[in-house]
Amino acid sequence: MQLNKLTIAQAREQLDKKEISSQHLTQACLKQIEKHNSQLKACLTVSSDLAMSQAKEADKRLKMGETGPLLGIPYLAKDNLLTKDIKTTAGSKMLENYIAPYSATVVDKLEKAGAVLLGKTNLDEFAHGSSTENSYFGPSINPWDTNRVPGGSSGGSASAVASDMCLFALGSDTGGSIRQPASFCGITGLKPSYGRVSRFGLIAMTSSTDVIGPLTKSALDAEMVFSVISGKDEKDSTSYDNLHSSREFVSDISKVSKIGWVKEHEKDLSPEVKEALLKTRKKLESLGATFIDISLPNIKYAVPVYYIITPAEVSSNLARFDGLRFGFSKSEASNLKDYYLQTRGEGFGPEAKRRIMLGTYVLSAGYFDAYYLQAQRVRENIISDFDKVFSEVDLILTPSATGPAFRFGEKTNPLDMYIEDKFLAGPSLAGLPSISLPTETVKDLPFGFQLVGSKSGEDMILKVAKSFQENTNYHLEKPSLP
């Protein structure tokens, strides 16, 4: 097997046995990037020299007998994560040439753990989107079908993992931006609980739902990355260490006996998606799980609530990008008003502008109570619904997307794109952990299902995810690349 096609777990075993080196592993990934990135446009920046330097250092640590989950493992980071001395563009003209003076906490943690940073991946501008079509630098491509999107906003990371450019990639998930591209590209994507991973150094989109997580080739790999990047960070007041649940976490899926089947979702499933989900349910039942019909009466409001709260926070978070402190600058403007208009008008793309305007509107006098405050009240009801359900079940099963990857230009209406978050926005609003795993194909394309856990319930969803993949081969299927 080519080294870049290894999983983290496979590479870990071979590195520890001194059968391969981190430098050879890194070279294999860089070669794959060089071969396919011009077509897939998964990476915006490739840091070859840094990667080889870090790989050489990792080999020294390995030679001295050191080990660790990610020591010597090459990865890519989504380009809204700050990386010291390497460009961080957020997929926007506004930050086209921005070089961060420090790295995000997760990047620092990975560096200390000996992981090897290969470069930065493409994304929808400032993570605003579900297809990576909103990137200023052009869209990433789905390696399963080059006429289709890889999903978004972490589409570059998903495309890179699916095409074996790296052993894992980091993404960010605000309302589905790890899980949906994982589904579209046939890989595993973990969204941790809100606060389990530090957001320090992540260019903020929606601060109350933003989460950093891994896109990987397996659930075991996701667990290995999560073990390194999670934990409390003094630089992020919302972060925390594992809150040990009173639940007994066991490896036997039959003892994680109750999985919720959401009645409200049934009417939203296409025949093909419903068939794939029912086959997934049957497989989980064969492994010992039992299913219980559950009700989330307010889940139908998740997308409307998300797209009121998100633009409101976006308009606030993007206010700092004015061309004065940093970012794209329109220096020939004759006065301050024109300067702002030209700088922000040219620096931001259409979707960023749309969300800024929507957010400013719902936060304005006369509309704050009617829209934003009301949305926050409904959000509390959604959280309450999840709390009640998790007193009855251990996990919840849903699709990861409304269907398989769609074609470029197919969803030109913003509302059609927003509906992509139908099954994903609820867990994000509630701050719950969830994972997308490959399952039965839909229309001969990769498709994923989502397992949602209770707050801090990553251990449980990972154990069930690993059990499912130990007994299926969906995650082993690969796209055919030229």
Helix, strand, coil in percent for the chain, rounding step 5: 45, 15, 40
Read off the amino acid at residue 72.
Answer: G
Closest CA to 429 of 85, 174, 204: 174
**Structure tokens of 277?**
């989900």
Round to whole Å and give the CA distance between 195 and 213. Answer: 11
What are the backbone angles phi and psi of residue 100, rounded to the nearest 5°? Answer: -70, 145
Which segments of 67-192 does DSSP mark as H helices, in order?
Answer: 105-112, 155-162, 179-185
Q: Judge contact between 222 and 190, C-beta under 8 A.
A: yes
> For the chain, how long is the longest CA-to-CA vector?
70
Catalytic residue among 154, 159, 177, 454: 177
Q: What DSSP state is assigned to residue 331? A: T
Round to whole Å and give the CA distance between 236 and 207. Answer: 11
**Structure tokens of 47?**
């840091």
78 included as an active-site residue: yes
Catalytic residue among 47, 153, 157, 163: 153
Catalytic residue among 41, 78, 411, 466: 78
Round to whole Å and give the CA distance between 467 and 219. Answer: 9
331 included as an active-site residue: no
What are the backbone angles phi and psi of residue 174, rounded to the nearest 5°? Answer: -105, -45
235 included as an active-site residue: no
**460-475 exposure pattern, b = at least 16 Cβ within 10 A, e = fewer:** bbbbbbbbbbeebebb
Bridge partners for 168 per DSSP: 75, 216
Residues annotated as catalytic are 78, 153, 177
